[in-house]
Structure 1
Amino acid sequence: MTGTKAQIGDRPTVAIIGGGLSGAAVAWHLARLTPAPRIVVIEPRAELGQGLAYGTPDPAHKLNVPAQRMTLDTSDPLHFQRWLSSSEGPFLPAGSATLAGDIFAPRQVFGRYVAHHLRPFLDAGRIEHLRTHARAARREGEQYRITLATGEDLRADRLVLAVSHPEPSVPRGLRALTAETGLIRDPYAPDALAGIAPDENVLIVGTGLTGADIVASLQERGHRGKIHLLSRHGRFSQPHGPAQDETGADFTVAPERTALGLLRRVRRALATDAEGGLTWHAVFDRLRTQAPAIWAALPQGERRRLLRHLRGLWDIHRFRIAPQTHDTLLRAIAARRVEPIAGVVTDATVAPEGIALDLHLRGGGERRLTVDRVVLATGPAHAAAFEVTPVLASLEAGGTIRRDPLGLGILTTTEGNAIDAAGAAQATLLIAGPLARGAVGELMGVPEITARAEGIARKLAQSLPDAEAPLVAPDRATA
């Protein structure tokens, strides 16, 4: 059922604020585990499961990992791939598969896959989708009162926060453009790039996956103008590696207590693997799977140091680019349609001939650049989540949640329970998705988000009264 009417029933109510992948996955797993609760997802988008990542309609925006590694169910790694091959799976555009047979589908397709698997529960009334925003929330006794943008209130016995990624913050050197139409802050907003004329010169700030997506979109639209691709260090997201053996490195044995010690240990592991014929991918895959243990061993100050000095290196190796997008980017650079620049914008002004930008280059020196558009591709500003998300601000004002001190989102336990102003873990308030990653270090990829959603759903099912056996056997009725 989809609507905005906030009815109150006799069953315990689980309210999930945010219906992107994180919130949708929690709802799906909880509905499969127990019929006890009323599950209400508060999400203004028409379909659950899309969110920022999987709502983009642009076919040039591809998943950055192959289909066999994308799933809603960690016990079934090929769940998404089987759906793609089923009668319900959509027709994929040409070029979705590599010569090796790996499928890198458009990101919207994964959103459709998630929506497809929620549909039986929505149709049966097991999950309710309220198409509105949560304006505020507060703790009242053993329940939560959630005020919706419609003016109605919803009472819930359990609350899950799975709020969306905040849009990128405007870098200091570009703040003079904040109110200008020439600055595109959210490149994934509907028709965000539609106003860019084919011959306009464009500056993209950020050279990671989002920056590559924008280049691919503009190239697909026949863009002819110059594209300048700017980042502080001039680094790009790295491509996927070959099929190979796993590394012998184990970072959980006597884990490092400093960021510098971790860096040295990683370098030693890379050198050892290189001698054995392995690429760097094997070590970074191991770092990803062991990230919670690595993160847990680091004191808070060392976590901060790691984020400040090594996060950029981690991101370009961890978040790998789809081969098709990588090829498009390399061809555009080779043809000099795209110019990579390492540096920062120090000042920006609007002039008759366009947007005049002063750059400080990484190698030293200054440069003046004039463009027609500036597009931010610096990633979500998670540190600003409380400022731009009213429901978080209201819960913080009531002392129910706290900010993560590293600026990664919301302070939680390692299992996702929110920590209140007094430092107490909240048994009935859980945080799903990337805003909880400050407790575990790595919570941005689909495998981590799905595993976290499964864990939260289990905690909810175990804590609810009158919990029963699963109403739907795991992936029998919805695979």
Structure 2
Amino acid sequence: MTVHGFASYPYGGQPAQIAIVGRGFSGLMMAIALLKSVSQPFQLRMFDPQPIISGGQALATARSTEILNSRARDLSVSTGEPKDFTRWLQANAHFREAVSAAIPGFGQIFVPKATFSDYVYQRFSEALAQRTDVSVQMSNEGISRIQRSDNGMFTLRLADGSEAVCDTVVLATGYGLKAPPPETNEHDGAGALPGSSGNAQHVVVMGNGLRAVDQVLQLRDGGFAGRITILSRRGFLPQPHTRMPADAVFPSQPMPSQLRHIVRFVRNACAEAEENGWSWQAAMNGLRKRARTLWASLPPSEKRQFNRHLRAIYDSHRNRLPADVHARLERELAGGLTQLKRGTTLRHVPGGLVVRWAGGSAEEQFAADKVIDCRCLSPDLKDPVIAELLSAGLATTDELGLGLAVNPAGELLTPRGRPAGLFAIGPLGLGSLPDIDLVPEIVTQAYAAATLVNAQLRPQLQAG
């Protein structure tokens, strides 16, 4: 499907060919950045086996009641215009009528995921409409192979056997090239929606992050009145946002170099923020601004130690819930029908799971009528396309093997340098860039990548 037709090309010759693999939030954000940043005409092809354009895994299946965990002020897709999303909200009469006039500014509110998805797609459509020298083609074919020729061009082999030749390729697939597994397992009723429960009396929700909390509340909103067990290895549920905005506050002095001293430094920073009338959330917001430099400075051994012992705690404090949603979760847990249990899932079995409970070594069968897997994902490095890029030397993993090694602009790094024109945007680079799974960081990275693409394409334009 071609979304936009071409006008005449002012420079003559053939336009640049750019491919984005993935049409979730990272893919759409990259498209917006390219449309706003690349000065010459180009053809953009967006590949995704999913038949619809969506906001990605976190947004595509969102119900109107699901709330994003970032304030509206942090969700602009326009670089240099941090209030773009809040202005868009204010111009939305239906949404404006639904929001209490007592709220001190639209920038402080938390909005439904579906609302943000509408905003992203509208900004994409508007950016495209302003570029009469650009065409965008949506392809529902999956990608089976990416190769780079000696002249620097990339060839994409599609699932139907056809090929596409491109100057630039952007991987924007979230956590991998394959669609995420269905939210339900073999014990569910066929076709059951994530928020429904069929005839189940006991539902196990695997995971302890935002998706797990969303799922629990969806079950209750859908009328489920049975038992729910949140099954998590570490047991750290998301912490709350403050009701009023928490600006970034953090000590300005240099951070320690060893992990145990860093942990003590952060704890003291949170305590100091509380003593001075701020909040620990403000200190964590300040830490996030230094997280990337801090992560890069740690040796691999301490990065592994952080992932083993501190990652779950850090994630529960950085991925926070709106205060009202957190209060509802606390009421749910206090009511007794929803419990949090610590344990490691070993395998699925008919009628439930085999679990090793925290502090024990024995395996035990845990009965459940329905199991919903909401555990945090990691980049799928075993996908054949990714694996071939790694074996061909076009990409390498980060030093811990958590994802693909990238620089801040998303360029894939290799042991021999970086291949011009090949990028990975968003969560594929989580092992290199902390918080690259969050909206503000993805927006910044997409514009940085688009700026590089523009610079790399200019010599071709001059040569033509």
Residue 366 to residue 40, structure 1, CA distance change in 2 (3 Å) = closer
Task: Give the total of aligned pairs.
Answer: 442
Question: Hey, what does 1:457 align to over in structure 2?
Answer: 450
Query: Displacement, 1:465?
Result: 2.5
Residue 84 to residue 45, structure 1, CA distance change in 2 (3 Å) = farther
Question: Hey, what does 2:17 align to over in structure 1?
Answer: 13
Question: Hey, what does 1:24 align to over in structure 2?
Answer: 28
Deviates more, 1:113-122 or 1:201-210: 113-122
- Percent of aligned positions that are identical: 28
Query: Displacement, 1:229?
Result: 1.0
Contact 2:184 2:371 (C-alpha < 8 Å) held by counterparts:
no
Residue 433 to residue 90, structure 1, CA distance change in 2 (3 Å) = farther
Instruction: State the secondary structure of the residue aligned to 1:465.
Output: helix
Instruction: State the secondary structure of the residue aligned to 1:326.
Output: helix
Contact 2:403 2:432 (C-alpha < 8 Å) held by counterparts:
no
Match for residue 169 of structure 2 among 159, 163, 166: 159
Question: Hey, what does 2:269 align to over in structure 1?
Answer: 269
Structure 1 unaligned residues grouped into runs of 5+: 4-8, 171-177, 185-189, 469-479
How do 1:48-197 and structure 2 match up within 5 A? 48=53, 50-87=55-92, 91=95, 102-122=108-128, 124=132, 125-141=134-150, 142-166=152-176, 181-182=186-187, 192-193=193-194, 196-197=197-198
Question: Hey, what does 1:474 align to over in structure 2?
Answer: none
Query: Displacement, 1:288?
Result: 0.6
Instruction: State the secondary structure of the residue aligned to 1:410.
Output: coil
Instruction: State the secondary structure of the residue aligned to 2:223.
Output: coil
Question: Hey, what does 2:425 align to over in structure 1?
Answer: 432
How do 1:189-208 and structure 2 match up within 5 A? 192-193=193-194, 196-197=197-198, 199-208=200-209
Residue 395 to residue 366, structure 1, CA distance change in 2 (3 Å) = closer
1:386 aligns with 2:396: no
Question: Hey, what does 2:8 align to over in structure 1?
Answer: none
Question: Structure 1 length normalisation: TM-score?
Answer: 0.83
Question: Hey, what does 2:367 align to over in structure 1?
Answer: 370
Residue 2 to residue 337, structure 1, CA distance change in 2 (3 Å) = farther
How do 1:277-426 and structure 2 match up within 5 A? 277-345=277-345, 349-350=349-350, 354-355=351-352, 357-362=354-359, 369-382=366-379, 385-387=380-382, 389-420=383-414, 422-426=415-419
Query: Displacement, 1:59?
Result: 2.0
Query: Displacement, 1:109?
Result: 2.0
Query: Displacement, 1:258?
Result: 2.1
Contact 2:143 2:385 (C-alpha < 8 Å) held by counterparts:
yes
Contact 1:206 1:377 (C-alpha < 8 Å) held by counterparts:
yes
Quick one: distance in 1 between partners of 2:124 and 2:264?
A: 45
Structure 2 unaligned residues grouped into runs of 5+: 4-12
Query: Displacement, 1:193?
Result: 2.2
Quick one: distance in 2 between partners of 1:169 and 1:26?
A: 21
Residue 300 to residue 94, structure 1, CA distance change in 2 (3 Å) = same
Contact 1:42 1:131 (C-alpha < 8 Å) held by counterparts:
yes
Residue 277 to residue 57, structure 1, CA distance change in 2 (3 Å) = closer
Question: Hey, what does 1:223 align to over in structure 2?
Answer: 224
Residue 95 to residue 38, structure 1, CA distance change in 2 (3 Å) = same
Greater relative contact order: 1 or 2 (C-alpha under 8 angstroms, separation 6 or more)?
Answer: 1
Contact 1:247 1:282 (C-alpha < 8 Å) held by counterparts:
yes
Question: Hey, what does 2:257 align to over in structure 1?
Answer: 257
Q: Which amino acid aligns with 1:157?
A: D
Deviations 1:83-103 (A, max 9, x none): 12225x765896899966643
Deviations 1:276-317 (A, max 9, x none): 233211210011111122112212222222222211111000
Contact 2:206 2:372 (C-alpha < 8 Å) held by counterparts:
yes
Q: Which amino acid aligns with 1:372?
A: D
Deviations 1:13-68 (A, max 9, x none): 11111122222112111111223322222223445451112212412321111222
